[in-house]
Structure 1
Amino acid sequence: MNKSILAIATALILFTCSEAQKTTLEQKDVFNETQIKESMIKALEWQEAHPIFALHPSDWTNGAYYTGVARAHNTTKNMMYMAALKNQAVKNNWNTFKRLHHADDVAISYSYLYVAENEKRRNFADLEPTKQFLDAHLYEDNNWKDGTNKSKEDKTILWWWCDALFMAPPVINLYAKQTEQPKYLDEMHKYYMETYNRLYDKEEKLFARDMRFVWKGNDNDRKEPNGKKVFWSRGNGWVIGGLALLLEDMPEDYEHRGFYVNLFKEMAAKILEIQPEDGLWRTSLLSPESYDHGEVSGSGFHTFALAWGINNGLLDKKYTPAVKKAWKALAASQHEDGRVGWVQNIGAFPEPASVDSWQNFGTGAFLLAGSEILKLE
């Protein structure tokens, strides 16, 4: 009888503990500062243990990832982030990737510039490869700039796809700031305007990924099954995330700053308007039913940008509930081991993701978002 009572008591204790643990998990505060920092470090540790890149360790995928690492360090000052930044820079010999007229291949230099700005040891960082790239990219003639590239339709400007507005402009802007050479910023603005004039839809307040998705008023225009234009979530995430990075380092008195502020606000209002109820944007922004599930890379960039706007006084508090809803959903997309799931694979238009799909740039977007969520009041 005593054994039976003991068994029942033990079972009750175990049940109570289990229920308590379940309640604790359900009540886990994803907005707790410690919790956010822990989730960010877990994402870093997992990604560092599972390196991946599309072409080379210095390519755009790592460029986007280590931009997130840099912003995470900027907010938290945790030296684990700086160690990761320095390790990859040294391994890469501070080199960009090789295509001097392709914006993707200088994205990695954002992390190099960040290290250079924050490293006390003199001459630790080697920014000569970045300078060589930017000088060639901005000032050398090539067949995209002069409009004579006929090998691929519509690729006749330097930044012919909207993703480029994340890859190169923040690097050029930061380089201009650090070297005190505004000529680089002026060149950046010139090429930014080419992309804006070609790909920005002033009616929808969103960017087409490239000319294939710009409506020309004919039967061949690409459209979603619901009849709406195709606007890719990550593509627009690249742009608005890049705008936040640009405005962070752009001089307050720069003559064209107003253009970037206005563009940022226009896009932010649209992104807020079309946010799904569960917090995560779908891969096709105007046709969420096409792939009716959240996607983390685009959503991470959107969350970062909106939170940055709030924290820097460009967006009012009406955006705060949307940002918090988005972060809650982003946090739920992280696996227990730190991996960030629901990331659409490398692509150029809306496609599905899954709970297990991941990419390093998705981790970068997660870290970017977390770096600004930590600053929300």
Structure 2
Amino acid sequence: MKKIFTGLALMALSVGVFGQSSADAVFRKKFIKKVMEDASAWQLQHPKHDAKDWTNGAFYAGLVAAWKTTKSKSIFNALMTMGDTGSWRPYKRWYHADDITVCQTYIDLYERKKDKAMIQPTIDTINKLLANPFPTKGRLEVIKWWWCDALFMAPPVLVKLAQVTGNKAYLDSNDVYFKQAYDLLYNNEEHLFARDLNYVIKPDGSGRKEANGQKVFWSRGNGWVMGGIVRILNALPKDHATRSFYENLLKEIAARVSSLQQTDGLWRASLLDPASYPGGEVSGSGFFCYAITWGINNNLLDKKQYQPVVEKAWRALANCVNQEGRVGWVQPIGASPGKNFSADSWEVYGTGAFLLAASEIYKLKR
């Protein structure tokens, strides 16, 4: 895989400016802050999609992490401007997980500003979601969160909202909706999530499979799930009755995902058929790095076992950012593994995943 370095990384790796070996330079806090600032700035200068779209919701999650890590006023101001410009409202569909993703950021900013107007539209929308059934068409949409990506988009909103409002109904509803998706899409043998019912193998063995005969498990889809679980656990009360379910699920997926990491440190778009998908994919890999590193930092995952995984992943991720701060090697929007990306392929959620990973690597004690 072609490697593209940030200016700071190139300097660090070539002349050892931080006084570390080249392999360790990307773990210095100075480097991590700089690459987060560069990636944030580049992405903010290259907007894409509606500001409230799920793609940007994932980017803003990373941007919040970058703000909290770097203490950058410019990043914070960009987030506040986004919220003010959009009147702190979700996107178009009250019932769709994608359209409330941006509300995670509204709640994060509310915790700093304590202005109820920043979360009232979110409260109104979530109350409507809880009071009404999903308007299914009777095909895939058999439950509210019928695709695995939704487990990053919506659950953190409900759990964060419970945290700031004290309304436990949001926690109870999240448990119900999440477990429905788990029962529908989680493969208990592979410890991975199918993207949706199109990728669940039928009892007679029929269904979509990869060229090597393996089941189709999308890297980014499972990255969405792991990232969502982490964001749930960050806000979920320590004594919540179902906390152990989320913790054990993260442990199961982390063990399986770690076994599928490729020699270059990244994961392929299709987890069980890497040979058919040459080239590491950064959005899925970024979410994996984020979630597993969080598990180490929070004493949920064994450091001795998992630190080599995340260190290898971070070295690779850092090498996928160019001198301008653009995060490359990101699969375009889709619902399944793809091969249509390269060093020049970028998307806002790829930057978000990278920033989330960086924020946890920054905290990692080596």
Q: TM-score, normalised by structure 1?
A: 0.89
From 45, 51, 66, give the equivalent of 2:47: 51
Aligned to 2:175: 189
Aligned mates of 2:335, 2:118 — CA distance in 1: 33
Unaligned runs of 5+ in 1: 1-19
Aligned to 1:348: 335
8 Å CA contact 2:199, 2:208 repeated in 1: yes
Aligned to 2:289: 303
Matching of residue 324 in structure 1 with residue 311 in structure 2: yes
1:130 partner letter: T
Shift of 1:71: 1.8
From 77, 83, 96, give the equivalent of 1:83: 77
Aligned to 2:183, what secondary structure does the other structure show?
Answer: helix
Residue pairs, 1:1-377, within 5 angstroms: 23-24=14-15, 27=22, 29-53=25-49, 56-119=50-113, 123=115, 125-144=117-136, 149-150=137-138, 153-218=139-204, 220-317=206-303, 318-352=305-339, 353-377=341-365
Aligned to 2:80, what secondary structure does the other structure show?
Answer: helix
Give the superposed CA RMSD. 1.6
1:364 partner letter: G
Shift of 1:142: 3.8
Query: For 1:263-308, what per-residue CA distance to the aligned partner results, in whole angstroms no more than 9, with x for missing partners?
Result: 0100011111111111100000000011111000000000000000
Question: Once superposed, which parts of structure 1, at least 4 consecutive aligned residues long, lie more than 4 Å away?
Answer: none
8 Å CA contact 2:67, 2:73 repeated in 1: yes
Q: Are the structure 2 counterparts of residues 125 and 226 from structure 1 closer, same or farther at C-alpha, using a change threshold of 3 Å?
A: same
Aligned to 1:315, what secondary structure does the other structure show?
Answer: coil
Aligned mates of 2:186, 2:284 — CA distance in 1: 17
8 Å CA contact 1:143, 1:156 repeated in 2: no
Aligned mates of 1:66, 1:78 — CA distance in 2: 14
1:328 partner letter: R
Unaligned runs of 5+ in 2: 1-10
Q: Are the structure 2 counterparts of residues 21 and 243 from structure 1 closer, same or farther at C-alpha, using a change threshold of 3 Å?
A: closer
Shift of 1:124: 7.1
Q: Which structure has the larger Rg over C-alpha atoms?
A: 1
Aligned to 2:363, what secondary structure does the other structure show?
Answer: coil
Shift of 1:220: 3.8
Shift of 1:78: 2.5
Shift of 1:92: 1.1
8 Å CA contact 1:233, 1:284 repeated in 2: yes
Shift of 1:219: 5.8
8 Å CA contact 2:37, 2:70 repeated in 1: no
Query: For 1:110-145, what per-residue CA distance to the aligned partner results, in whole angstroms no more than 9, with x for missing partners?
Result: 1110000012xx53752111011101112223433x
Q: Are the structure 2 counterparts of residues 216 and 244 from structure 1 closer, same or farther at C-alpha, using a change threshold of 3 Å?
A: same
Q: Are the structure 2 counterparts of residues 124 and 258 from structure 1 closer, same or farther at C-alpha, using a change threshold of 3 Å?
A: closer
8 Å CA contact 2:268, 2:280 repeated in 1: yes
Aligned to 1:30, what secondary structure does the other structure show?
Answer: helix
Aligned mates of 2:26, 2:13 — CA distance in 1: 15
Q: TM-score, normalised by structure 2?
A: 0.92
8 Å CA contact 1:280, 1:330 repeated in 2: yes
8 Å CA contact 2:192, 2:222 repeated in 1: yes
8 Å CA contact 2:12, 2:22 repeated in 1: no
* Greater RCO (Cα-Cα under 8 Å, separation 6 or more): 2
1:272 partner letter: S
8 Å CA contact 2:287, 2:357 repeated in 1: yes
Aligned mates of 1:22, 1:287 — CA distance in 2: 32
1:249 partner letter: A
2:280 partner letter: G
Aligned mates of 1:21, 1:195 — CA distance in 2: 44
Aligned mates of 1:142, 1:338 — CA distance in 2: 40
Aligned mates of 2:147, 2:283 — CA distance in 1: 18
1:46 partner letter: W
Aligned mates of 1:265, 1:22 — CA distance in 2: 33
2:359 partner letter: S
1:49 partner letter: Q
Aligned mates of 2:216, 2:44 — CA distance in 1: 34
Percent of aligned positions that are identical = 48
8 Å CA contact 2:62, 2:355 repeated in 1: yes
8 Å CA contact 2:293, 2:357 repeated in 1: yes
Aligned mates of 1:64, 1:21 — CA distance in 2: 29
Matched pairs, number: 348
8 Å CA contact 1:60, 1:104 repeated in 2: yes
Shift of 1:74: 2.6
8 Å CA contact 1:115, 1:125 repeated in 2: no
